[in-house]
Structure 1
């Protein structure tokens, strides 16, 4: 009987672990590098939320293209961007950064995701105000521990940058609902107009509706209520089950 009781304990442990390892919610942000609304959402809603507990429950994807267009002639790709040629360059910088930013093994406090988020936020915060007409890529890289700005810049000024931006354009074109506004935010790869609008003014409240229990504390605080399936509930249920199984085999 002891091996059966051990199996029960193993099952209980797995259930507790699964309660704490809820799947991440896929969130995709379709945006433009010089779009004021994109900047407002990323710097005021997305970035503050993702720097907290939500970073552990969200799988974030940036798609820097928006209402831009591209055409191909042989190996050449030509872009027309919503806010002009400077935005095309900015979109390429974003696409190249998303592709090339890597975490440094000597700086374990940073992840690839956190470095990308910090860099994108810095670029978007700069907006269209570039002192001396200098794009803020190098400054944002230096300020946010991105050590390979030269690689990103080379990419943005080469055919690689064009190909990466083209991929972002193709991803945008594949949306089931054609993109009509920027930014556009998808949750679980699904677009809903009302959800998109709400996320732009209340990202935390919106994402918390998709996060499985047990939810981060920021969600319970934001909703003004405790989760209905926290650890205490899990422990109580598992303790009861364990007791029933033990009694079954002891008597």
Structure 2
């Protein structure tokens, strides 16, 4: 077998593996408590693990907002008020503007964006001195706040948020709850609900072999829980039958 053939096989395998990432889209709002809970408690911990290598994440910060246009002007009405409109613009601009730094080998554009969004969502709706935490989160996440701020306060931010709105409004199944999570660009109400309380377990159902260790551990834990539940049920039936 020639070295060239081995190389081609390796490249083919690498291509298949790299194409195996699961597309996950998160439709959310910047000041939505349920969005914050999902991103900070479910999504962020999962994507800081080995699962980050099997997910292609897309953030869409619009939710139940609406917009209207008058000429070149765009006016937004947001689910949690004007502050959320500004927050949504910050998120949209961050998603567009954040770039990885070549000298930071441990960070990618995706990881920096995830860190920044997680920090913003963790801040919730209450800001000390009414100061939006954009600059603080940018500093903590080591991203350029100035680029994001200029974007969010300009027509560019409005255009980016409008794009997020168009993507949301074009969903095959109209968005009825926030957050809404799509796997493989398909909406399933049961999957959406499960993902919000058990994102790792839900995601692992879509990940092909070989699965990351975290999926194997999760499957094993789920199997043990099912066996334990079955044993408890059978024990209860036995006790009812023979002791009462």
* TM-score, length of structure 2 as denominator length: 0.86
Q: Provide the rounded CA distance (Å) in 2 between the counterparts of 1:140 and 1:223.
A: 35
Deviation per CA, 1:55-89: give whole Å up to 9, x if none: 10000000000000000000000000000000000
Report SS of the residue matched to 1:200. helix
Deviation per CA, 1:160-218: give whole Å up to 9, x if none: 00000000000000000000000000000000000000000000000000011101110
What RMSD in Å do the two structures reach over aligned CA positions?
1.8
Q: Provide the rounded CA distance (Å) in 2 between the counterparts of 1:19 and 1:95.
A: 31
2:162 aligned partner: 166
Q: Are positions 1:125 and 2:110 aligned together?
A: no
**Length, aligned pairs only:** 221
- 1:39-188 pair list within 5 angstroms: 39-146=36-143, 148-188=144-184
Determine which of 195, 215, 219 is the counterpart of 1:219.
Answer: 215
Determine which of 26, 29, 34 is the counterpart of 1:29.
Answer: 26
Q: Provide the rounded CA distance (Å) in 1 between the counterparts of 2:163 and 2:189.
A: 24
Conserved? CA contact 1:92–1:164, under 8 Å: yes
* TM-score, length of structure 1 as denominator length: 0.83
2:231 aligned partner: none
Task: Answer with 28-37 or 100-109: which moved more.
Answer: 100-109
1 or 2, which has the higher helix percentage?
Answer: 2
Conserved? CA contact 1:29–1:63, under 8 Å: yes
Q: Provide the rounded CA distance (Å) in 2 between the counterparts of 1:100 and 1:155.
A: 9
Higher relative contact order (CA 8 A, sep 6+): 1
Q: Provide the rounded CA distance (Å) in 1 between the counterparts of 2:23 and 2:6.
A: 33
Q: Closer, same or farther in 2 for the Cα pair 1:10/1:158, shift >3 Å?
A: closer
Report SS of the residue matched to 1:114. helix
2:197 aligned partner: 201
* Unmatched runs of 5 consecutive residues or more in structure 2: 222-244
**Hey, which bits of structure 1, 4+ residues long, moved more than 3 A?**
6-22
Q: Closer, same or farther in 2 for the Cα pair 1:10/1:107, shift >3 Å?
A: closer
* Unmatched runs of 5 consecutive residues or more in structure 1: 226-251
Q: Closer, same or farther in 2 for the Cα pair 1:20/1:96, shift >3 Å?
A: closer
Shift of 1:11: 7.5
Shift of 1:129: 1.4
Q: Closer, same or farther in 2 for the Cα pair 1:156/1:222, shift >3 Å?
A: same
